[in-house]
Amino acid sequence: MATVASLLSSIASGIMGTYVVIKRIVFIAGSISHALLGGIGVCIYLYSKHPSPLFYPLNGALVFSLLAALVIGWVYLKHKDREDTAIAAIWTIGMATGIIFASMTPGYNVELMNYLFGNILWASMREIKLLICLDVILLLAVFRYRYLFLAISYNEKQARLNKVPVDRLYLILLALVAITVVILIQAVGAILLIAFLCLPSAVAGKCTKSIHQMMAAGVGFCSLFSFIGILLSATWNIPLGATIALVCSSFYFILLLWKKEA
Amino acid sequence: MLQIENLDFHYPGSEPIFLDASLKLKSKTFSIIIGPNGGGKTTLLNIIMGFLKPVKGKLQSEFNQIGYVPQAHRIDLEFPIRLIDHVRIGCIQRLTWWGGFDQETESFVKKLLEKLDLWSIRDLRLGELSGGQLQRAQIAHALASNPDLLILDEPTSNIDPKAKKQIMDILHKLKKEITILMVTHDLETLLPETDQVLLVSNGIEIVEKSTLCKHTAMGLYEHRLSTLGGNS
């Protein structure tokens, strides 16, 4: 189950990580990944009061991450100079909401900790199905919009002159990043997620020529880093999410040094 | 045709860049913009392209599609994009419902790359191209949208004389088909091709080629100084 969840996470991360890196929206992805803790906290609280599938934590995470993506996107498009402040505000509002609701729910702190730091080993069948659905949505959207996303990532000004609906596509891209973040939260957790989303793609970007090659290599590196992380975590009995994040960071810096030497 | 009348423009909280400035670009002409750094050249291009709104004045344009070649230093050479994909996204308006390009568009891209002598290096990443190849790649991207106005921001800066000549040959052929507006400091090469010279220095001044004392930028600045009474 962990292997399947890890592979599904790697597909999402390799593809969307590429856009996050080339569009330079790493901190937006970071903000979304922390904001969704609000949704998880609210759902944990609501589930404790009214146990219903509607209040599964990942549902709350999905709603909050999409809302965060749209708010940040709107601020970027309408008040570009305030974007960094909005990113920070969304980041903290989500986390604060999650902490408050989790504190109101006795006995559920362990679950919140799992989402904070991730643990792919406890992925259930229900969650695997959700991950498959989200991966399929992601793949279809990226296939349909591949050249449009490339156009707005490369040069927004030229894209606008070519009558590309840049604003709409930017919001769609952020919504897909939000979906990816939800997929990845189980693998590495909200706090360390940004390393798994960006670093394998950044590594891939150093050794590929096109965006499509970068995506394929990104998926490969994500799978490799997760596999090494799972192996090291099991061998030394250390937290999995943190191990994967450290593996990603180590490879990234090794490559930077190697490229500098070359 | 493009016509700007009585243009006022300033950035919020800053001194005016244009006050009551006017400009006319006729179809299928080659105009160049010269002027000192910070004089408003790029601002003027941004107003023409619709990225900046004039504070006052009227802009009328009959051009349907604008192609834009940015300054070389603004191009992200780390960006993972092959030359052929760069030209394909120039044809983005021809995208099919499934998000790709049909055979007709692919042959159009091929012809365009062949015309600009880029076909053999189509799979190289933009960062791997030489200065001249990169500028031709930018022109190919801009032409892929079939523009009737081509705007170029210093396309011949920092490239060797051979590459410069190649770009000039391309522009020479293009000026019979479309309108070209180009920011440049490279007057000596360009002046014979030019129909109109615009001096942009906190205003827009049309400079007659025949009044130029020398075919150099200094000549134009001297001309402007003389029209202002030599006090600036």
pLDDT one-digit tens code per residue, A100-145? 998 888 776 677 777 887 777 767 787 788 889 889 999 999 999 9
Cα separation of B211 and A240, whole Å? 75
| Per-residue pLDDT band at B231 (split at 50, 70, 90) | very low
Question: Which of A144, A149, A162, A212 should we substitute to test contact with B (largest number of B Cβ atoms within 10 Å)?
Answer: A162
Beta carbons of B78 and A205 less than 8 Å apart: yes
CB A225 within 8 A of CB A251: yes
Contacts of A173 (CB under 8 A, 6+ apart): A19, A23, A145, A149, A152
ipTM for the assembly: 0.85
CB B116 within 8 A of CB B139: yes
**pLDDT category, B101, cuts 50, 70, 90?**
very high
Per-residue pLDDT at B222: 53
pLDDT-derived band of residue B219, with 50, 70 and 90 as boundaries?
Answer: low
Q: Which residues lie below 8 Å from residue A54, measured CB to CB, with a gap of 6+?
A: none
Distance from CA of B212 to the nearest CA of A (A): 34
Fold of A2-190: ABC transporter involved in vitamin B12 uptake, BtuC (1.10.3470)
Interface touch B145/A162, C-beta < 8 Å = yes
Task: Report the alpha-carbon distance of residue B181 to residue B199 in Å, rounded.
Answer: 13
Stated pTM of the model: 0.87
> For the purposes of burial, counting CB atoms within 10 Å of the CB of A192, is it exposed (0-12), middle (13-18) or buried (19 or more)?
buried
Euclidean distance between CA atoms A186 and A116, whole angstroms: 9
Mutate: best of B11, B49, B81, B82, partner A, most A CBs <10 A: B81
β-strands B30-34, B2-9 pairing:
unpaired
Q: How far is CA B184 from the centre of its chain?
A: 9
Distances in Å between the Cα of A165 and the Cα atoms of A146, A174, B35, B37 are 14, 14, 34, 32
Return the ∠ at Cα A154 (arms to A150 and A157), rounded to 5°: 115
Search chain B and give the residue with CA nearest A141: B99
- What is the extent of the structural domain holding B9? 2-227
Structure tokens at A171: 């919001």
Return the residue matching tokens 């590929």.
A208
Instruction: Give the closest-approach CA distance of A237 to chain B in angstroms.
Output: 38
Mean local confidence (pLDDT), B60-88? 90
B49, B89, B141, B145: best to mutate for the A interface, most A CBs within 10 A = B89
Selecting from B67, B80, B141 the residue whose C-beta is nearest the C-beta of A210 gives: B80
Inter-residue long-range contacts of B103-110, CB under 8 Å, 24+ positions, other chains counted: B108/B144, B109/B84, B109/B144
* Phi, psi for B145 (deg, rounded to 5): -90, 10
In the prediction, which pLDDT does A122 show?
67
CA-to-CA distance for A159 and B78, rounded, in angstroms?
A: 19
Contact A36, A185 (CB under 8 A): yes
Residue B232 lies in a domain: no
Overall number of domains in chain B: 1
Instruction: Specify the pLDDT at position A19.
Output: 95
A145: nearest CA partner in chain B: B99
Strand-pair partners of B224: none
Nearest CA in chain B to A151: B89
Q: Which pLDDT band, with edges at 50, 70 and 90, does A232 fall under?
A: very high
The answer, for A110 touching chain B at a CB cutoff of 8 Å, is no
Are B81 and A211 a contacting pair at CB < 8 A? yes
In whole angstroms, what is the distance from residue B25 CA to residue B207 CA?
14
Residue B103 within a domain: yes
Give how far Cα A61 sits from Cα of A44, A101, A118, B36, Å: 11, 14, 14, 53
Distance, CA of B10 to CA of A188 (rounded, Å)? 49
- CATH number of B70's domain: 3.40.50.300
Q: Which of B184, B118, B124, B123 is nearest to B156 (CA)?
A: B184
Is residue B69 in some structural domain? yes
Please judge whether B90 and A148 are an interchain contact, meaning their C-beta atoms are less than 8 angstroms apart: no
Q: Give the span between the Cα atoms of B79 and B126, in whole angstroms.
A: 8
Q: For residue A251, count other CB atoms closer than 10 A to its CB.
A: 18
3-state helix, strand, coil in chain A (%, to 5): 90, 0, 10
Write out pLDDT tens, residues A69-87.
Answer: 999 999 988 887 778 898 9
Report pLDDT for B89. Answer: 95
